[in-house]
Structure 1
Amino acid sequence: MSAVADLPVASFPAAAAPAWGGRLATMDRRKRLRLALGVVVLVAVAIAAVVLGRQPDWRVLFANLSDKDGGAVVAQLTTMNIPYKYAEGGGAVMVPADKVHDVRLRLASQGLPKGSVAGFELMENSRFGMTQFQEKLNFQRGLEGELTRSIQALGSVQSARVHLALPNQNGFFREQQKPSASVLLSLYPGRALERAQIAGIVHLVASSVPELAPAAVSVLDDSGKLLSDSGNAGDAAGAVDGQQLQYRQQLEQLYTRRILDILEPVVGRQNVKAQVTADVDFSQTEATSEEHRPNLTAETSAVRSQQTVEVTGAGAGGAAPAGGVPGATTNQPPGPTTAPVNGAAAPLAPTAATAGAGAATAAAAAGAKTPGKRESITNYEVDKTVKTVRNATGQIRRLSAAVVVNYQNIADAQGKSSPTALSPQQIEQMTALVRETIGFSKDRGDSVNLMNAPFLVDATTQAPELPLWKKPETLELVRSLAWPIGLAVIGTIVLFGLVRPGLKAMAVVPAPAALPAPGTAGALAAPGATLDAMLAEEPLRPALASPANGAAPALAATPEVVPEQARLEGARQMARDNPGAVANIVKSWVNGDAAATPAGA
């Protein structure tokens, strides 16, 4: 076939164009069917690979759409000639990943989906001529939307709705109505709000509306259960009880975790179970005590106050004896007296009414001795101690701990392990560890019970580990690679099983003709005939060069003894000197025409 490479380019297509058709016509019918089937299957596999490879990656455009919003979005996508499909039972619309952001922005410019929460941007669309009622209504809707957005920012809240009842404030009313609010929450499946989160929502709404009390805010979930209970006194007590229960559970979990942490390194992670029950006193106690010390001496005591009264006069009673002229003057009451605390009493000043009577009796009383009286009152500070004791809530009154330890697996001399009970000494040591861990108090009445028993393994709860080919991630990988690998395998089978054998059958070429011996006409030996016969049929062809005229090198007498390089050089020389004859020879090889011999002519 090297001689063909040296042929003129213009003559080769004309000579080889009908070659494949002739080879296909000379092939067996079964081989032709196999070749055609292989080509068809190979083309189908290629088309399937291209189609599957060009499938877009779908992404969620909008989720949790209502029927009205979903229909509007789908209608707009159809108008925009954008492919889409449904997901999540029609609640989500998916589009190709490379178009999701563009489509989302284009739909948002058209106000889709309409179910999105609107906030204070409603105030931006104020029209000329709006009434005060419409402006107030837009403000209320905007405030509700802003509160809804804030509440939906919580991780457990899927959606929310806020309703505000804002009364008309009028200065002519004596009693103004207070605003109120209600919040409807839709939580994600398996999620729950803690009491602190509910209180946060209540205070968020109450702080956003003027004069709105937290007690006037109601929070409900999508099942209609009231979550906020701060407005009811009885429910408030229930909330305190809930906090107490939560505190006790946390305390029990703390002691249980301590027991497991101290015993698991000894017996194994799954070989010990523990439970702790705590009796907690949540009562508030306040005690006040007053203590007085015994009386002290006068020298060491502190004087608080002191009063001394000294009275001087005649008579046993300490008063002046009656005297004077009977009458109105003598019956007048005496003047006011003073009793000094310290020192002698000041003398009484005589009045004008009694001046005469005093003068009359002065002579009679002058000779008599007047006795006196002295009183002294001293108040000392009282030594007193007042104590007020308030006991903190949540005091532990009693702890009870129950611990179960599994049997130990001990191997015998043959290496076979069997469950074995713990010794009494080991049980006592573990019990002591548990007592020290929980802070055991005998005065408090604490109790610890540790039991050693074999654990029963439930076959239904302990699922066997799935093999590699049954794991979900492996199955997902196989599904993703099934189509490409399957198409590649089918294409390989078709290519090597059907197409390649047909092509090989079409490419079968007869054995090349032997070069002529020196001294001959220099023609190549064709199958069943010589080149001289072919040249005799076409006298117009120029004669091939021979060693006689020196145009070609001498060749060996037989092909077996002719070197390969010499044969190749002779064929090239023939192609240069007589290309028409060589083209006819190649044509006869391709067509498999055995009629090229003189007999067939």
Structure 2
Amino acid sequence: MPAGGRPLGPMAGNLPAVVARPLVQIQALGGRRIVALGLVALAFAAFFAFLIGRALETRYTLLYADLDLGASQEIVRRLEALGVPYRLGGAGDSVFVPSEEALRLRMSLAEEGLPGGGTVGYEIFDNADPFGTTEFLSNVNLKRALEGELARTIGSMRQVRSARVHLVQPKRELFQREKTKPSASVFLSLRVAGGLDRREIGAIQHLVASSVPGLDAKGVTILDDAGDLLARGGQDAADGLLMDEADDYKVSLEERLKRKVVTLLERTIGRGRVDAQVTALVDFDEVTTTQETYDPEGQVVRSTQTVEEQRDASEKAAKEGVSVANNLPAERNQQAGGGDASQEQTNRTEETVNYEVSRTVKNQLKRGGRIERLSVAVQVDGVYAPATDGTLAFQPRDAQELAQLETLVRTALGLDEERGDTVSILSRQFIAVEPEAAPEETLLDFSRADLLGLVEPAVLLVVSILTLLFGVRPLLRRLLPEQEKASLETVATTGSELSTLAGDAPPAALAAGDAPGAAGEQPEGMVLQNIEGRVHAALVQDVTGLIQSRPEDAVGVIRGWLLEG
């Protein structure tokens, strides 16, 4: 704006309307306001440049996570050699690379054996020198390889993040009678605390035991990163597994019997008006019985043995003394012809009969899960009769009906009084529970990934709107009234100058619009004194153009305003 506060009317008139109007508007703002608007424009330019940069920046995706520092260092060194940009996350255990390079890098690094994960397997023998390795070093490497392979296998489970295995394989000495059993310890880093059940713990125990010669599953100790002992050495996981199965069987049995009672009684009493609880005492001991029975009445001849013996013997009595002459053959023959003789005859018969006695052998194995006692508690809703006030009054069911229900329950469950089974049925008032109102379904049923993808644009949009509302709009409100004031002052100044130049022209003629050339050329008149509010820069430009083209008419109009005012 020139000195003296006068507008550049001639300059604006010589320019095209498209250029003149913005110049006039900017000229009417003033120096300070132009600087303020420039700063706002720069802020918006920087803000949108930030948005464009964020949209065009490289997207990074996770390459590897949960790495130890050694493996992370090897991967970073290899990425730097390949010239691939990367970012480290967490405590240095996560590596991020551009999304379009992730798959190719995984394949390339896997070909080079990365990441190693800090666990050594059987590849330790790939470059080993068989001639320069001692027996001790070979045994140590074999143990390391076995521990590493087991750790890799266990770490591939879905619930396990990483694993470490320690094996103790005692060396058998010469002339040692008792053999020391090997043992193993497994340390697990779980993805979720308590993420392993008994079956999975038992599977790990048997996996380690089957991989080490002479190792029993009871000799494997397992603990997690929270310090919880999952499996104790000397305890078989099957023991805990059997206990869990026993508990599950007991709960399933009680629930099945409960449903049977409720279903039976609801058909006569009504749905939702019967409640029952069943407690079962179950014996899970396994009993093996061997019984051998003999039947004395069932004898059968198996074999018969008969022995007959007959013996004849004779002997002559000796009358002479014992001498040499008596023992000569001639003398003995003479003596045999005479004298007394004795004879002996024996007959013996022996019979042996073998009998087979009837025998019964009975082997009986009673599995666990036998019901020793059942306790059943049932409560049923009563009946409701109209009261004097018109409401329904609760009345318990009579004893006869409850006895009939008890008979039904005993028969349905097969209760045995000799076994100690008990049943109790009561009639009590049920409290009606109002169902919870189901949540209304919304049209914006986005998934979590969709919501996360919309968060950033939504935040940027909100920031933009807040900047427009609380930054630009208050500034414009402060600038426009001052602009209007400056425009009115410009019009007044121009009018005073024109009135000075006009001299003594008749005001009445100008006020009445009788100036020559006014009819048909001047646009429809308007009373400026009735205009209130803001005067835009375009209107000021139009007024300036009219004053320059028709100075006489302008002077007459201004004089009319002065007379009316």
Which TM-score band applies after superposition, normalised by the shorter structure? 0.5 to 0.7
Structure 2 partner of 1:306:
305
Quick check: 1:123 aligned with 2:99?
Answer: no
CA distance in 1, matches of 2:61, 2:175: 58
Deviation string 1:101-145 (CA, Å, 9 cap, x unpaired) is 566678778987664433223333447985335555444323221
1:280 aligns with 2:254: no
Unmatched 5+ stretches in structure 1: 1-11, 314-319, 330-351, 507-527, 534-556, 561-587
Match 1:445 to one of 404, 420, 423: 420
Q: Distance in 2 between matches of 1:269 and 1:490?
A: 56
Where does structure 2 lack aligned partners over 5 or more consecutive residues? Answer: 1-13, 323-328, 485-512, 523-540, 556-565
CA distance in 1, matches of 2:428, 2:412: 22
Aligned residue number for residue 595 of structure 1: 548
CA distance in 2, matches of 1:422, 1:480: 65
Quote the offset at 1:150 in angstroms.
Answer: 0.9
Highest relative contact order (Cα 8 Å, sep 6+), 1 or 2?
Answer: 1
Q: Which of 250, 254, 257 is 2:255 aligned to?
A: 257
The 1:416/1:34 distance shift into structure 2, 3 A limit, reads farther
1:19-66 alpha-carbon deviations (Å, 9 max, x no partner) = 421343357999989987986776566456545655776644444455
Q: How far has the Cα of 1:149 moved from its partner? A: 1.0
Instruction: Map 1:178-577; keep pairs closer than 5 Å.
Output: 179-191=182-194, 193-214=196-217, 216-222=219-225, 227-229=230-232, 231=234, 235=235, 240=239, 242=240, 245-263=243-261, 266=266, 272=275, 274-280=277-283, 282=285, 284-294=287-297, 302=301, 304-309=303-308, 311=310, 323-325=316-318, 373=347, 375-394=349-368, 396=370, 398-405=372-379, 407=381, 424=399, 427-428=402-403, 431-432=406-407, 434-436=409-411, 438-453=413-428, 482-483=458-459, 485-486=461-462, 489=465
Distance (whole Å) between structure 1 residues aligned to residue 520 and residue 396 of structure 2: 101
Any idea what the Cα deviations from partners look like across 1:119-176, whole Å, max 9, x if unmatched? 2233334479853355554443232211111112233333211123456688x77678
Q: Matched residues in 2 for 1:77 and 1:592: separation?
A: 71
Contact residue 316 and residue 340 of structure 2 kept, 8 A: no
Distance (Å, rounded) in 1 between the aligned partners of 2:76 and 2:50: 29
Residues 460-509 of structure 1 show CA distances to partners (whole Å, capped at 9, x for unaligned) of xx99988889x998996785664255257558869997999999x99xxx
SS in 2 for 1:21: helix
Q: Distance in 1 between matches of 2:98 and 2:393?
A: 61
- Structure 2 distance, partners of 1:396, 1:23, is 99
Q: Kindly indicate whether residue 157 of structure 2 is the aligned counterpart of residue 154 of structure 1.
A: yes
Distance in 1 separating the partners of 2:75 and 2:423? 66
Taking every aligned residue pair, what percent have the same amino acid on both sides? Answer: 23
**1:192 Cα offset (Å):** 5.1
**Aligned pair in 2 of structure 1 residues 107, 411: CA closer, same or farther (>3 Å)?**
farther
Q: Aligned letter for 2:548? A: A
TM-score by length of 1: 0.57
Match of 1:272, SS state, is strand
Task: Mark the structure with the bigger radius of gyration.
Answer: 1
* Letter matched to residue 21 of structure 1: L
Instruction: Report how many residues are paired.
Output: 476
For 2:30 and 2:347, how far apart are their aligned partners in 1? 165
| Aligned-pair Cα RMSD in Å | 6.2
Secondary structure in 1 matching 2:297: coil
Higher helix share: 2
